[in-house]
Amino acid sequence: MNFGRRSSERLLTAIPLAAAALFIVGLVMAVRPKDASTAQSSDLMKREAEARAETARLKGRLSESSALVKALTWVGEAEQIETEAARRVTALARESGLKMVAFRPQRPTESGGLIQQPYVISLEGRFPAVVRFAARLGTPETRLPVTVLQVASSDAATDSVTASVEVVALRESTDVTGNKTK
């Protein structure tokens, strides 16, 4: 009988020890994944904040770029734009002390909802005047950004040059019904 009594005492002692061991293991398991998930969650929150900041920065740049494109975009028909562009270029060349030899329209292209109408301008004059002329073309007042500038010396003894300047007039694309395309 003594033997049975010892067994029951041992059993009564072993049950609380086993329960305590299971409780401790459960706590360890519950705490450990929570720490890892908290770290992952914190890392994800940090990445999300960085992504939001980058998105806001890029939206700002897009807004600035859109405003610049809008400032450089022409409104009207191609023929009207060509006439006005030629008038502005001629006046600017005269103001700059340059001789405008030619103003030639090139084949238009469409990209990103804009029609790009290129023109090639041939000039003669002094090199510094050509540089100033080219710099003034891309302003919102003139709306003819320079895409190519080629300069060649026409007289080795002076600063006289011949220049070929390619500019582009941007206008919004429209469909056959006259509606703006997106």
- DSSP string over 86-100: HHHHHHHHHHTT-EE
How many structural domains is the chain composed of? 2
pLDDT for 176 equals 44
pLDDT for 30 equals 66
pLDDT for 182 equals 44
pTM of the model: 0.63
The backbone region for 113, taken as left when phi is positive above 0, alpha when psi lies in -120 to 50, beta otherwise, is left
Pairing of strands 160-172, 73-74: parallel
Q: Is 133 helix (H, G, I), strand (E, B) or coil?
A: helix
167 and 86 within one domain: yes
Cα–Cα distance between 177 and 174 in angstroms, integer?
Answer: 8
pLDDT for 110 equals 92
68 and 122 within one domain: no
38 and 102 within one domain: no
67 and 85 within one domain: no
DSSP category for residue 179: P
Domain end position, chosen among 30, 56, 73: 73
Cα–Cα distance between 22 and 18 in angstroms, integer?
Answer: 6
148 and 113 within one domain: yes
Place of tokens 């010892």: 6
Domain end position, chosen among 49, 73, 97: 73
What totals of helices (H) and strands (E) does the chain contain, helices first?
3, 6
**In which domain, by residue range, is 142 found?**
75-172
Q: Is 39 helix (H, G, I), strand (E, B) or coil?
A: helix
- Is 182 inside any structural domain? no
- Is 177 inside any structural domain? no
Q: Which residues of the chain have pLDDT under 50?
A: 1, 175-177, 181-182
pLDDT for 31 equals 61
Contacts of 111 (CB under 8 A, 6+ apart): none
Q: Are 108 and 119 in contact (CB under 8 A)?
A: no
pLDDT for 13 equals 75
Place of tokens 């030639």: 104
